[in-house]
Chain A
Amino acid sequence: MTAATHDTGRFGPFGGQYVPETLIPALDELTAAYDAAMRDTRFTSVLDEMLATYVGRPSALTEAPNFSAHIGARVLLKREDLNHTGAHKINNALAQALLAKRMGKQRIIAETGAGQHGVATATACARLGLDCVVYMGEEDMRRQALNVFRMKLMGAEVVPVTSGTRTLKDATSEAIRDWVGTCDHSYYIIGSVVGPAPYPRMVRDFQAIIGREARAQVLERAGKLPTSVVACIGGGSNAMGVFHAFVPDTGVELVGVEAAGKGLETGEHSASLACGKPGVLHGAMSYLLQDASGQVYPAHSVSAGLDYPGVGPEHSWLKDSGRATYVSCTDADALNGFGLLARLEGVIPALETAHAVAWIAAQRGRWAADDVVLLCVSGRGDKDVAQVAQMDTFSA
């Protein structure tokens, strides 16, 4: 189109800006502000400084000798769980909050599933003196009560979402509705590489520090690139973050692990890439769980952070272009992975991460002993221990 600032933001046929007209000028403004900020060292140096002294970057790369022995390859853990607030989400939330501040927007809106993005956003807002409203599905507020408390403690308003499936999908819809009404003074900090352009590209860029650091750390530690890079996929931000630096390294296998829930054959899962068809949800064209008449299917996963029927458009493109491979693990596998990494390495992963742990654990014999497998530990499992303890009681 002729409008000069119009960013169609495509990854192959995926992505785009399928939003109500009201938001188009807001997205144009955001695109321009983001691109200008990234060219401005006054912005990037403040961000780098806060990533170092507030978030605690670079995050460690940890050997996992016992897990390595278990699967027969050298596993290295990229420790996003060690970030302030306990997950990769802060990389993006902090950067976008800084951008909002630069744009003069005082009111921040966010959606959250597991609560990690909500906590990260509430944290960044507390630090930068911004007002924060977080939309969270009622079902997720129950599953992640601890994170609800943390957000409120930091001064955020947590709005329960009671529509639809009462999970991340509906929280995202509600956040978009808020933004449609308030885009003149509010900034929407989306939590993953989803949504209309420029969000998928911007969130990827803010998370790409994971892969940039990890690539250099692995090269230094092992003297070579990893054979495989593995991450869990909800919307896909920790995976895009760790993949991005490796995309040009065509010899490096990129593996995304989706949530197979109760099993792909049951229909109760969140494996959009494995089982979905291209469609439009929340502003982007991407693989989507939907029925024959184009209604979005409710997703299911034991982990609230993966419980989403869509996926970031760049993953759809990496899948169709063959650059990345997408696999899945069930709720039961993930619960085993959760315990396995805790027992073998003294690292309790988030239930989301546990899907990637479980997939690697099931691949014993797939790699040679000196192959390096890089696992993105997207978050720590403290938020999940109460839920898992309760489920263990039920199954005992």
Chain B
Amino acid sequence: MLNETMSSLRAAKRRALVCYVTAGHPDPARSVALVQGIAAAGADVIELGVPFSDPVADGPVIQGSSQMALEAGMTLQKTLELAAATRVRVPLVLFSYLNPLLAAGPNVLQQAKDSGISGLLVTDLPVGADPEREAWIGKGPLSFVRLVAPTTPTNRMKQIASHGSGFVYLISRLGVTGERSDVSVDLPGTVERLRSVCALPICVGFGVSSAAQARAVANMADGVVVGSALVRIAERSVDEAVAFVRSLRSAIDAA
């Protein structure tokens, strides 16, 4: 479903709005309402973060949300139940660290599929790091979204693009997740470099925190990922988070 959504957006020359939320945050019940609200507000893809005790790629906002979710008893298994309970039509992408997936065992990919998940992104499984486990995911029922960083050399970008599906997630700048006040000046060059070796749609994330930034990014990439800003607002109010997604949608469509 993720692949189809991305190609029909491309055919319609529309930019994808990808929204990240942490499963079980701010609490399990509101988390379901949040996903449903975001889907209704115009998100094209929703990334569902699996809370992990040691999120080394995340800044304070997503760390805090994971901590809250864990304290509320969230696990990978419960994340899948939550995904199923949302019954949304937009594709859901599981955003996880590797260890919870390994602990869940080989059937977890099919279970995820059965829960309505269509893609998987693993923060700490870069291309080439573990061919056996990458093959497990790559041959499984989910689209396997891979990450590219600003530090990634062009020949490696090519390799990454050929090992992924759905879209390629381009990290907009050095650093962990978190809000930033501006878009990196190097971003257009990195997008172009990636574009030259990658046929998949390119979605840009990390640091995109306002409608204005989302529009700027939408002008150069196929999609925009918004995470920390949304998580921070959702902690205060689900309604405000949904309104924020609506504003992102109009900003991107105006790009």
0/1 string, A181-219, CB within 8 A of B gives 1: 111100000000000000000000000000000000000
Interface check A363, CB cutoff 8 A: no
On whether the beta carbons of B128 and A296 are closer than 8 Å, the reply is no
Query: Which one of A12-20, A45-53, A93-101 is at the interface?
Result: A12-20
Contact A176 B56 (CB under 8 A): yes
**Closest Cβ of chain A: how far from B124's Cβ, in Å?**
5
Mask: chain B, 144-166; 1 = CB below 8 Å from A; 0 = not? 00111111110110011000000
- Residues of chain A within 8 A (CB-CB) of B149 are 20-22, 24-25
Smallest distance from the beta carbon of A336 to chain B beta carbons, Å?
Answer: 33
Residues facing A in B113-166 (CB within 8 A) are 123-131, 146-153, 155-156, 159-160
Can you name the residue of chain A whose Cβ is closest to the Cβ of B149? A22
Complex Cα distance, B214 from A327, in Å, reads 55
**Cβ-closest chain B residue relative to A18:** B124
CB distance from B236 to the nearest CB of A (A): 21
Q: Mark A145-185, 1 if CB is under 8 A from B, else 0.
A: 00000000000000000011000011001001100111110
Q: How far is the CB of B204 from chain A (nearest CB, A)?
A: 14
Residue B11, interface by CB 8 Å: no
Which A2-37 residues sit within 8 Å CB-CB of chain B?
2-3, 6, 8, 16-26
Question: Which size class do B's interface residues fall under?
Answer: 35 or more
Say yes or no for B247: interface residue by CB 8 A criterion: no
Question: Do B126 and A17 have beta carbons less than 8 Å apart?
Answer: yes
Q: Does A267 contact B (CB under 8 A)?
A: no
Q: Is the CB of B54 within 8 A of A169?
A: yes
Does A389 sit at the interface, judged by CB under 8 A? no
B119 to chain A, nearest CB (A): 17
A-contact 0/1 string along B90-127, CB 8 Å cutoff? 00000001111111100000000000000000011111
> When the two chains form the complex, which single residue of B53, B76, B126 contacts A20, counting CB atoms closer than 8 Å?
B126
Q: Is the CB of B57 within 8 A of A180?
A: yes
Give CA–CA (A292, B150) in the complex, Å.
35
Is there contact, CB below 8 Å, between A183 and B128? no
| Chain B nearest Cβ from A168, distance in angstroms | 12
Chain A residues positioned under 8 Å from B63 (CB to CB): 163
- Interface with B: A54-62, A126-134, A246-254, A275-283, which one? A275-283
Which positions 92-119 of chain A face chain B at CB distance < 8 Å?
none
Q: With A19-B126, A20-B149, A21-B152 as given contacts, are A279 and B56 in contact (CB-CB < 8 Å)?
A: no
A44 beta carbon closer than 8 Å to chain B: no
A160 smallest CB distance to B (angstroms): 14
Task: State how many angstroms separate the Cβ of B108 from the closest Cβ of chain A.
Answer: 10
Does B100 lie within 8 Å of A293, measured CB to CB? yes
Chain A residues, CB < 8 A from B100: 293-295
CA distance A23 to B131 in the complex (A): 18
Kindly report which residue of chain A lies nearest to residue B79, judged by CB atoms: A293
The B53-70 residues at the A interface (CB cut-off 8 A) are 53-59, 63, 67, 70
Binds A, one of B81-89, B168-176, B217-225: B168-176
Check A296 against B174 for contact (C-beta < 8 Å). Answer: no
Could you tell me the distance in whole angstroms from the C-beta of A19 to the nearest C-beta in chain B?
A: 6
* Chain A residue with Cβ nearest B55: A173
B52 within 8 A of A: yes
Contact partner, B59, options A177, A280, A295, Cβ 8 Å: A177
Interface residues of A in 269-312 (CB under 8 A from B): 277, 279-283, 285, 288, 290, 292-296
Q: Are A25 and B56 in contact (CB under 8 A)?
A: no
Residues of A within 8 A of B127 (CB): 1, 21
Nearest CB on A from B127, distance (A)? 8
Report the nearest A residue to B51, measured CB to CB. Answer: A295
Q: How far is the CB of A384 from chain B (nearest CB, A)?
A: 27
What distance in Å separates the Cβ of A296 from its nearest Cβ neighbour in chain B? 5
Other-chain contact of A22, B76, B102, B174 (Cβ < 8 Å)? B174
The answer to whether A25 and B54 have CB atoms under 8 Å apart is no
Contacts of A23 in B (CB 8 A): 151
Chain B residue nearest in CB terms to A174: B56
Contact B99 A20 (CB under 8 A): no
**Contact between B54 and A164, CB atoms less than 8 A apart:** yes
Q: Does B77 contact A (CB under 8 A)?
A: yes
Which among A164, A277, A294 has the highest number of chain B CB atoms within 10 Å? A294
- In the complex, the chain A residue whose C-beta lies closest to that of B104 is A294
Scoring A24, A169, A281, A292 by chain B CB atoms within 10 A of each residue's CB, the highest score goes to A24
Chain B residues within 8 Å of A6, by CB:
128
**Are the CB atoms of B54 and A293 closer together than 8 Å?**
no
Cα distance, A346 to B77, chains bound together (Å) = 55
Contacts of B171 in A (CB 8 A): 20-22
For the complex, is B75 an interface residue (Cβ under 8 Å from A)?
A: yes
Cβ contact within 8 Å between B152 and A294:
no
Alpha-carbon distance between A183 and B173 when the two chains are bound, in angstroms: 12
Contact present for A24 and B176 (CB under 8 Å): no
Shortest Cβ distance from residue B225 to the other chain A in the assembled complex, whole angstroms: 15
Complex CA–CA separation, A173 to B176 (angstroms): 11
Residues of A within 8 A of B124 (CB): 18-20, 280, 283
Cross-chain contact of B98 among A25, A173, A177, A280 (Cβ < 8 A): A280
6 contacts between A and B (CB under 8 A): A20-B123, A21-B151, A173-B55, A183-B151, A293-B77, A294-B103
A residues sitting closer than 8 Å to B (CB atoms) are: 1-3, 6, 8, 16-26, 163-164, 169-170, 173, 176-177, 180-184, 277, 279-283, 285, 288, 290, 292-296
Which residues on B are within 8 Å of A, measured CB to CB? 52-59, 63, 67, 70, 75-77, 97-104, 123-131, 146-153, 155-156, 159-160, 171, 174-176
User: Shortest 8 CB-CB distances between A and B: which pairs?
Assistant: A294-B103, A181-B175, A1-B128, A294-B100, A22-B149, A293-B75, A20-B57, A294-B99
